[in-house]
């Protein structure tokens, strides 16, 4: 496929499915249902939510790199990225702080604390998380542990955007694209060595790969390669490559090899699925791109339902209730916030100087 835009293939459906998969994975943890099945099948190496987030970063890597390559202007690029991420996040923070927290307080007031006394905590939750989500994770005693565990990935998403801008400003996404792709391949190769033979890497190279967030940025870089090297698209489109990659990815996960094999096999399998699934134009059919809203609201909706004892219904009713509630808020987020924020892109200047 020439570009993974939602109207020419099934990327819209894939993104929505991945967001739902994150909600599914969190349902086990937040509902106290124990380990999810995939964790047992893969020898404890991967859960469905982790796989979904890795796939999100692969897709994002390609889409964001292509965005820079279409319009290599720093100000416009950063404004586009901010308009996509921040308004929906800010509204979600406010909904959690002043809506869901108030609901929980109304049904079970905190000992010795009125809502007026909790209001500064609610304001703090919003303002402290505006640009660094997860700086504050609760509002007073609510919900008891963590309002939105999903937000930790947004820091690394934003950091990856800045890395794209840095590469672009150095022309490594333009006339020096081959050099840029080579640098990313070297980095991914070093990561492979770190997984298979970490003792071979001299200090401080292992520090490039030693946290889950850093690993996510490497999936982002793997996705970028599909934007930077058109030959990869032609290779993925060859008969058998996409299905073969998906089959090998499945085998690698079952053998407990996903940690090092995922970088190699997930991108071709994912881009093949986006092209091959017969669900082109999914977002137009359902009225919008609800994946980001579903990702933002899934965790707090599940926390709210858990507060009211929904896990006692059994796993599937509990999961489906959380999915439905999250989807309803995601629809509202798209139509009231995200779509309008994205429309502001048309007001941005188009004649700024290009990157070198």
- Alpha carbons within 13 angstroms on the beta-carbon side of residue 339 total 13
3-state helix, strand, coil in the chain (%, to 5): 75, 0, 25
263 domain-assigned: yes
Of 90, 122, 229, 213, nearest to 160 (Cα)?
213
Within a domain: 331: yes
Give the model's pLDDT for residue 299.
98
pLDDT at 144: 87
Residues 42-54 have a mean pLDDT of 95
**Average pLDDT score over residue span 47-68:** 97
Alpha helices in 71-176 (DSSP H): 74-94, 101-107, 115-128, 152-169
Asked if residue 256 is part of any domain, the answer here is: yes
Q: Would 213 be classed as within a structural domain?
A: yes
Q: How many beta carbons lie within 10 A of that of residue 335, not counting itself?
A: 14
For residue 142, give the 3-state DSSP assignment: strand
State how far the Cα of 224 lies from the Cα of 209, in Å rounded to an integer.
18
- Dist CA 275 CA 10 (whole Å): 6
Tell me the two tokens of residue 269: 């399998």
In the chain, how long is the greatest CA-to-CA distance? Answer: 67
Identify the CA nearest to 284 among candidates 63, 12, 24, 60. 12
pLDDT tens for each residue of 206-249: 999 999 999 999 999 999 999 999 999 889 888 889 999 999 99
Close Cβ partners of 132 (under 8 Å, ≥ 6 residues apart): 155
- Give the residue ranges of DSSP H helices in the chain: 11-30, 37-41, 48-70, 74-94, 101-107, 115-128, 152-169, 177-196, 212-228, 230-237, 241-254, 258-276, 282-286, 291-307, 315-333, 339-343
Closest C-alpha among 48, 45, 44, 62 to residue 19: 48
Assess if residue 2 is contained within a domain.
no
**How far does Cα 264 stand from its chain's mean position?**
19
- Distance (Å) of CA 139 to CA 93, 99, 162: 11, 11, 31
Q: What is the pLDDT of residue 350?
A: 60
Give the residue with greater pLDDT, 128 vs 145.
128
Phi, psi of 139 (to 5 degrees): -120, 100
139: helix, strand or coil: strand
pLDDT in tens, 293-310: 999 999 999 999 999 999
Q: Is the pLDDT of residue 71 over 50?
A: yes
For residue 213, what are the domain limits? 11-347
pLDDT digits (tens, 9 = 90+) for 84-104: 999 999 999 999 999 999 999
Domain tally for the chain?
1
Q: Check residue 351 and give its pLDDT.
A: 46
- Residue 50 contacts residue 150 (beta carbons within 8 Å): no
260-290 CB burial, b ≥16 within 10 A, e <16: ebbbbbbbbbbbbbbbeeebbebbeeeebbb
Establish if 23 belongs to a structural domain: yes
Residue 137: inside a domain: yes
Is 100 among the domain residues? Answer: yes
Side-chain half-sphere CA neighbours of 221 within 13 A: 24
pLDDT number for residue 3: 46
């Amino acid at each position: 496929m020439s570009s993974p835009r939602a109207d020419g293939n099934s990327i819209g459906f894939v993104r929505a499915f991945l967001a739902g998969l994150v909600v599914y994975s969190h349902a086990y943890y937040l509902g106290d249902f124990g380990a999810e099945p995939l964790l047992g099948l893969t020898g404890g190496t991967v859960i469905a939510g982790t796989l979904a987030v890795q796939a999100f970063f692969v897709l994002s890597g390609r889409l964001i790199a292509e965005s820079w390559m279409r319009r290599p202007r720093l100000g416009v690029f950063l404004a586009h990225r901010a308009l996509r991420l921040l308004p929906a996040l800010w509204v979600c923070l406010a909904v959690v702080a002043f809506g869901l927290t108030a609901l929980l307080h109304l049904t079970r007031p905190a000992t010795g604390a009125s809502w007026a006394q909790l209001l500064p905590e609610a304001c703090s939750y919003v303002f402290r998380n505006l640009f660094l989500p997860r700086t504050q994770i609760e509002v007073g005693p609510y919900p008891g542990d963590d309002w939105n565990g999903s937000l930790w990935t947004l820091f690394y998403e934003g950091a990856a955007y800045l890395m794209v801008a840095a590469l672009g400003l150095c022309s490594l996404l333009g006339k020096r694209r081959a050099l840029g792709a080579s640098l990313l391949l070297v980095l991914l190769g070093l990561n492979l060595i770190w997984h298979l033979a970490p003792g071979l890497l001299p200090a401080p190279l292992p520090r490039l790969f030693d946290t889950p967030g850093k690993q996510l940025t490497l999936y982002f870089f793997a996705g970028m390669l599909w934007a930077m090297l058109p030959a990869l698209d032609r290779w993925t489109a060859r008969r058998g490559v996409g299905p073969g990659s998906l089959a090998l990815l499945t085998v690698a996960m079952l053998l407990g090899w996903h940690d090092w094999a995922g970088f190699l096999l997930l991108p071709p399998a994912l881009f093949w699925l986006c092209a091959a699934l017969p669900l082109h134009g999914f977002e137009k059919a359902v009225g919008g791109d609800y994946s980001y809203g579903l990702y933002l609201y899934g965790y707090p909706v599940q926390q709210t339902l858990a507060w009211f004892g929904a896990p006692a219904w059994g796993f599937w009713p509990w999961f489906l209730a959380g999915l439905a509630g999250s989807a309803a808020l995601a629809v509202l987020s798209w139509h009231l916030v995200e779509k309008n924020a994205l429309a502001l892109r048309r007001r941005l200047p188009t004649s700024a100087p290009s990157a070198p």
